[in-house]
Amino acid sequence: MDLNRMVEIIKASPNFHKAGMIASHLGVVRSFSRDGKAVSGVDVEFDNEKIDEIMRDIKSRPGIVEILIEANSGHLEVGDEIVTIMVAGDIRDNVFPALIDAVDRLKSEASTKEEKVID
Protein backbone atom coordinates (compact mmCIF):
# COMPACT_ATOMS: atom_id res chain seq x y z
CA MET A 1 0.00 0.00 0.00
CA ASP A 2 1.48 3.26 -1.12
CA LEU A 3 -0.27 6.04 0.79
CA ASN A 4 1.33 8.79 -1.29
CA ARG A 5 0.09 7.13 -4.50
CA MET A 6 -3.40 6.88 -3.04
CA VAL A 7 -3.38 10.59 -2.19
CA GLU A 8 -2.29 11.38 -5.74
CA ILE A 9 -5.15 9.27 -7.13
CA ILE A 10 -7.62 11.17 -4.96
CA LYS A 11 -6.12 14.51 -5.99
CA ALA A 12 -6.56 13.52 -9.65
CA SER A 13 -10.32 13.17 -9.14
CA PRO A 14 -12.19 15.65 -11.35
CA ASN A 15 -14.10 16.88 -8.29
CA PHE A 16 -11.11 17.23 -5.97
CA HIS A 17 -11.50 21.02 -6.06
CA LYS A 18 -14.57 20.49 -3.85
CA ALA A 19 -12.52 18.74 -1.15
CA GLY A 20 -11.35 20.42 2.01
CA MET A 21 -9.73 17.36 3.55
CA ILE A 22 -8.61 13.77 3.16
CA ALA A 23 -8.99 11.44 6.14
CA SER A 24 -7.45 7.99 6.26
CA HIS A 25 -7.35 4.74 8.19
CA LEU A 26 -4.39 2.35 8.02
CA GLY A 27 -5.16 -0.97 9.69
CA VAL A 28 -2.23 -3.15 10.73
CA VAL A 29 -1.92 -6.56 12.39
CA ARG A 30 -1.38 -6.07 16.12
CA SER A 31 0.34 -8.54 18.44
CA PHE A 32 -2.68 -9.14 20.68
CA SER A 33 -6.37 -9.91 20.30
CA ARG A 34 -9.20 -7.79 21.69
CA ASP A 35 -9.26 -10.08 24.73
CA GLY A 36 -5.51 -9.71 25.31
CA LYS A 37 -4.24 -13.01 23.89
CA ALA A 38 -0.91 -13.01 22.03
CA VAL A 39 -1.29 -13.15 18.24
CA SER A 40 1.34 -14.18 15.68
CA GLY A 41 -0.65 -13.04 12.65
CA VAL A 42 -4.02 -13.24 10.89
CA ASP A 43 -5.60 -14.92 7.91
CA VAL A 44 -7.89 -12.41 6.23
CA GLU A 45 -10.00 -12.42 3.07
CA PHE A 46 -11.85 -9.53 1.45
CA ASP A 47 -14.85 -9.54 -0.89
CA ASN A 48 -13.93 -7.10 -3.67
CA GLU A 49 -17.49 -6.81 -4.96
CA LYS A 50 -18.67 -5.83 -1.49
CA ILE A 51 -15.79 -3.33 -1.20
CA ASP A 52 -16.92 -1.75 -4.48
CA GLU A 53 -20.47 -1.53 -3.13
CA ILE A 54 -19.28 0.13 0.08
CA MET A 55 -17.23 2.65 -1.91
CA ARG A 56 -20.23 3.49 -4.13
CA ASP A 57 -22.46 3.97 -1.09
CA ILE A 58 -19.96 6.17 0.75
CA LYS A 59 -19.18 8.24 -2.35
CA SER A 60 -22.89 9.00 -2.83
CA ARG A 61 -23.06 10.80 0.52
CA PRO A 62 -23.31 14.58 0.66
CA GLY A 63 -19.92 16.26 0.61
CA ILE A 64 -17.91 13.14 -0.25
CA VAL A 65 -15.65 13.62 -3.27
CA GLU A 66 -13.74 10.33 -3.40
CA ILE A 67 -13.03 7.14 -1.46
CA LEU A 68 -10.32 4.55 -1.98
CA ILE A 69 -9.98 1.20 -0.24
CA GLU A 70 -6.97 -1.09 -0.63
CA ALA A 71 -6.96 -4.41 1.23
CA ASN A 72 -4.45 -7.23 1.59
CA SER A 73 -5.86 -10.76 1.69
CA GLY A 74 -4.07 -13.89 2.83
CA HIS A 75 -1.80 -14.61 5.78
CA LEU A 76 -0.41 -11.45 7.37
CA GLU A 77 2.16 -11.15 10.16
CA VAL A 78 2.21 -8.73 13.09
CA GLY A 79 2.91 -5.25 11.75
CA ASP A 80 1.71 -5.99 8.22
CA GLU A 81 -0.79 -3.61 6.64
CA ILE A 82 -4.29 -5.03 6.35
CA VAL A 83 -6.27 -2.18 4.84
CA THR A 84 -6.05 1.47 3.89
CA ILE A 85 -9.12 3.63 3.48
CA MET A 86 -9.00 7.24 2.32
CA VAL A 87 -12.00 9.53 2.12
CA ALA A 88 -11.90 13.00 0.57
CA GLY A 89 -14.67 15.47 1.12
CA ASP A 90 -15.74 18.97 1.87
CA ILE A 91 -15.81 19.22 5.68
CA ARG A 92 -14.97 17.02 8.65
CA ASP A 93 -18.65 16.75 9.62
CA ASN A 94 -19.14 14.73 6.42
CA VAL A 95 -15.74 13.06 6.03
CA PHE A 96 -15.11 11.58 9.49
CA PRO A 97 -18.48 9.79 9.75
CA ALA A 98 -18.01 8.45 6.19
CA LEU A 99 -14.56 7.11 7.10
CA ILE A 100 -15.83 5.47 10.29
CA ASP A 101 -18.74 3.89 8.42
CA ALA A 102 -16.41 2.62 5.69
CA VAL A 103 -14.11 1.01 8.29
CA ASP A 104 -17.02 -0.54 10.18
CA ARG A 105 -18.71 -1.84 7.03
CA LEU A 106 -15.48 -3.25 5.63
CA LYS A 107 -14.98 -5.25 8.83
CA SER A 108 -18.59 -6.42 9.14
CA GLU A 109 -19.65 -6.89 5.51
CA ALA A 110 -16.60 -7.41 3.32
CA SER A 111 -14.03 -9.38 5.29
CA THR A 112 -13.38 -12.52 7.24
CA LYS A 113 -10.47 -12.71 9.65
CA GLU A 114 -8.96 -15.45 11.78
CA GLU A 115 -6.35 -14.45 14.32
CA LYS A 116 -3.51 -16.88 14.89
CA VAL A 117 -3.38 -17.01 18.70
CA ILE A 118 -0.16 -18.11 20.35
CA ASP A 119 -0.81 -20.87 22.92
Q: At what angle do helices 92-109 and 48-59 cross, to 10 degrees?
A: 160
Domains of the chain: 3-117 (3.90.1170.40)
Report in angstroms the alpha-carbon separations of 70 from 3, 82, 87, 90, 108. 10, 8, 12, 22, 16
Q: Identify the pLDDT of residue 119.
A: 78
Of the segments 32-41, 91-100, 110-119, which one has the largest average pLDDT value? 91-100
Among 108, 90, 8, 5, smallest CA distance to 51 is for: 108
Digit-coded pLDDT (tens) for 35-92: 999 999 999 999 999 999 999 999 999 999 999 999 999 999 999 999 999 999 999 9
pLDDT tier for residue 1 given thresholds of 50, 70 and 90: confident
Runs of H (alpha helix) within 1-119:
3-11, 48-59, 92-109
Q: Identify the pLDDT of residue 69.
A: 98
Q: What percent of the chain has a predicted confidence (pLDDT) above 70?
A: 100
Among 33, 40, 47, smallest CA distance to 80 is for: 40
Among 68, 77, 93, 69, smallest CA distance to 16 is for: 68
